[in-house]
């Protein structure tokens, strides 16, 4: 599909059911195997739930970004085709934003939709939030996904966070060695190094 047809907006409560289905389909179960972002071999159970999505919507300083498109294919109807969540970094809110809950309809993965969503999220963080860094947490055994982010300019920091074993909100692990690796991308130069007219 042409990414020029995409429309971006902030999610609302009316989108919750559709977002839940989208995220689940992109990461869990057999439907997720139609795309390449599946975690079905690593995790069972849910990827998110309504309460988690509601918490994202309720946080005033964050955005649950959705991408919509017009219905131009009978088998792939109009509506939300992708989403991502951006929020100030918990440890350094004045320096970085966190990028997460990134999901694209499995049948549209590889079509440029995901890259367009990332571009819009980075634009918001860079130009509207005026933050210099974007960070994300990725399961570190997912080398193909990490490679995708590296091609988009993200760098491996070498920092890791433990996977929340025992918390079923994040799924049911199928192996005992999961952990998150922190990736980051510089979106703008620091204020004290910017030259006049760069903005």
Structure tokens at 37: 């972002």
pLDDT surpassing 60 at residue 193 = no
Instruction: Please check the confidence at residue 160 and state whether its pLDDT lies above 70.
Output: yes
Q: What pLDDT is attached to residue 24?
A: 85
Block residue for tokens 């890259």: 115
Lowest model confidence (mean pLDDT) among 101-105, 121-125, 160-164: 160-164
Over residues 56-84, mean pLDDT: 81
Query: Which residue has 């409560």 as its token pair?
Result: 13
Instruction: Tell me the pLDDT band of 74, cut-offs 50, 70 and 90.
Output: very low
Residue environment code for 10-42, b if the CB has 16+ CB neighbours within 10 A, otherwise e: ebeeebbeebbebbbbbbbeebbeebebbbeeb
What is the C-alpha end-to-end distance of the chain, expressed in Å? 32
pTM, rounded to two decimals = 0.82
The reported pLDDT for the residue numbered 191 is 56
- Mean pLDDT, the chain, integer: 84
Taking a C-beta distance cutoff of 8 angstroms, is the pair 142, 36 a contact?
A: no
For the chain, the structural domain boundaries read 3-71+78-136
User: Domain 3-71+78-136, what architecture?
Assistant: 3-Layer(aba) Sandwich (3.40)
Q: Tell me the chain's radius of gyration from C-alpha atoms.
A: 17
Contact yes or no for 69/1 (Cβ under 8 A): yes
Longest dimension (CA), the chain: 52
Integer Cα distance of 125 and 87 in angstroms: 9
């Amino acid at each position: 599909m042409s990414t020029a047809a995409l429309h971006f907006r902030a999610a609302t409560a009316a989108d919750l059911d559709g977002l839940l289905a989208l995220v689940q389909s992109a990461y869990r179960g057999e439907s997720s195997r139609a795309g390449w972002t599946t975690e079905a071999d690593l995790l069972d159970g849910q990827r998110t739930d309504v309460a988690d999505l509601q918490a994202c919507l309720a946080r005033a300083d964050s955005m649950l970004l959705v991408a919509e498109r017009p219905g131009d294919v009978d088998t792939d109807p109009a509506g939300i085709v992708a989403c991502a969540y951006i929020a100030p970094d918990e440890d350094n809110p004045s320096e970085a934003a966190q990028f997460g809950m990134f999901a694209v309809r499995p049948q549209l993965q590889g079509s440029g939709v995901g890259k367009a969503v990332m571009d819009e999220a980075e634009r918001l963080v860079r130009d509207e939030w005026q933050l210099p860094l974007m960070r994300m947490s990725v399961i570190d055994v997912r080398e193909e996904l990490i490679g995708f982010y590296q091609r988009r300019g993200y760098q491996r920091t070498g920092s890791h966070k433990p996977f929340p074993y025992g918390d079923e909100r994040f799924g049911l692990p199928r192996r005992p060695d999961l952990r998150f690796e922190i990736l980051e991308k510089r979106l703008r130069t620091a204020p004290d190094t910017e030259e006049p007219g760069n903005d």
